[in-house]
Amino acid sequence: MPLRGRVGRHTKQGGRQAQNWPDDQLTIINLLNNISPADGGAAASLSKSVRSGICSDELYRAISTFEDKQFPGQRDGFVDPSGAMLKRMEALAAKTAAPIRFVTPEAWLGPPTGKTRDISNTEIPLSSVGVVWVGLTGDSQNIVKTVAANIPGVVTIAEANTANNIRWFRLTKLPGPGMDVQVRAKDGTGKVVVGFNVGLIDLPGGPGPLDTELGLAGTIVRLAPSARADYIDNRAEGIGYYIYHPSFQVYSRV
């Protein structure tokens, strides 16, 4: 992964700060956090708090420790965008990093919280009246740049939030005939990192106060609309009312 400038301090020049762009610092922190101490890494102990232009004492020590382990006697104190230090960090981090996988909540049709199940390289059902939450795990180095279906105009994939190091996406079926699609996570070069298949099914609404939905194994489930994770009362957090348009608003918690 590229750096815009050097990260660290110039040890041989009295500790002068390098460029230390914030995104570059986070890249080095993520790499070191995915390298074991036996290889000179930080093993997830580095803080991700950074300041533009300033390499913290903690990060400088971590860079120097890695350098002493992998390049004894060099003592530069910084990571160069095109240098051997960065290449070695990337190689070691890739060797020890957890694989990137797709998951869903273990409580099927539930919100993106709690325990998860791995759905990588499998097929999941998605009905015309349903919502499925899908998470991306193990991407601590921000390798994945796009998550999309192979057939446009069939499903919507909206990134929702990141919680507990999982990037969550909300999948819904667009109007039209059902067909199977492939959802793929790709890196910056367009290479597929991981994926899963989606079986799309059109379902009618349920009788009376119940709706029809598909369970994870494709079984039909009937539940009250208020039990859906996507029910408005389960998603809305508050509502605002203008009292002196357009400047003042009264905000009420739901």
CATH number of the structural domain spanning residue 127: 2.60.40
According to the per-residue pLDDT averaged within each range, which of 70-74, 121-125, 150-154, 187-191 is highest?
70-74
Q: What pTM was estimated for this model as a whole?
A: 0.53
* Same domain for 107 and 209: yes
- What DSSP element (H or E) covers 117? strand 116-118
Same domain (yes/no): 215, 123: yes
**106 with 115: CB under 8 angstroms?**
yes
pLDDT in tens, 197-239: 998 877 665 555 556 666 666 666 666 666 666 666 666 667 7
Alpha helical stretches, state H, the chain: 22-33, 57-70, 84-96, 232-235
Report the b/e string of 97-117 with b at 16+ CB within 10 A.
Answer: beebbbbbbeebbeebeeebe
Decide if 154 is inside a domain.
Answer: yes
Query: What amino acid occupies position 9?
Result: R
pLDDT of residue 112: 85
- d(CA 80, CA 90) in angstroms, rounded, equals 13
Q: Is residue 153 part of a domain?
A: yes
Range of the domain at 69: 7-96
Final residue of a structural domain among 62, 96, 130: 96
Number of domains within the chain: 2
Q: Nearest CA to 119 among 139, 107, 101, 137?
A: 101
Asked whether the beta carbons of 29 and 59 are under 8 A apart, the reply is yes
Paired with 105 in beta bridges are: 116
**Same domain, yes or no, for 143 and 53?**
no
* pLDDT score recorded for residue 179: 74
> Quick one: 136 and 90 in the same domain?
no
Looking at the chain, the number of H-run helices and the number of E-run strands are 4, 16
Q: Pairing between strand 181-186 and 146-149?
A: antiparallel
Give the domain-ending residue among 60, 76, 96. 96
Q: Higher model confidence: residue 229 or residue 143? A: 143
Q: What is the mean pLDDT of residues 88-97?
A: 84
Do residue 120 and residue 188 come from a single domain? yes
Residue-level pLDDT at 161: 85
Same domain, residue pair 134 and 193: yes
Q: Domain check: are 54 and 114 in the same one?
A: no
Handedness of CA 195, 197, 200, 201 (dihedral sign): negative
pLDDT at 79: 97
Q: Is the pLDDT of residue 253 over 70?
A: no
Q: Where does the pLDDT of residue 250 fall: very low under 50, low under 70, confident under 90, or very high at 90 and above?
A: low
Q: How far apart are CA 8 and CA 110, in angstroms?
A: 44
CA distance 170 to 111: 10
232 Cβ neighbours under 8 A, 6+ residues apart: none
Instruction: Identify whether the C-beta of residue 80 lies closer than 8 Å to the C-beta of residue 8.
Output: no
Looking at the fold, whether 107 and 217 belong to one and the same domain comes out as: yes
Answer yes or no: is 171 within a domain. yes
Tell me: do 78 and 120 sit in the same domain. no
For residue 123, the model assigns a pLDDT of: 92
What pLDDT is stored for residue 211 in this prediction?
63
Domain boundary among 67, 96, 125: 96
Quote the pLDDT of residue 210: 55
| 130 plus 72 within the same structural domain | no
Do 69 and 45 share a structural domain?
A: yes
Q: Give 54: exposed, middle or buried? Use CB within 10 Å, 0-12, 13-18, 19+.
A: middle
Output the pLDDT for position 44: 76
Say yes or no to pLDDT of 31 above 70: yes
Pair 50, 57: CB distance under 8 Å: no
Whether residue 130 sits in one domain with residue 65: no
CA distance 203 to 219: 12
Q: What are the tens digits of pLDDT across the range 49-85? A: 899 999 999 999 999 999 999 999 999 999 999 899 9
Residue 254 pLDDT > 90: no
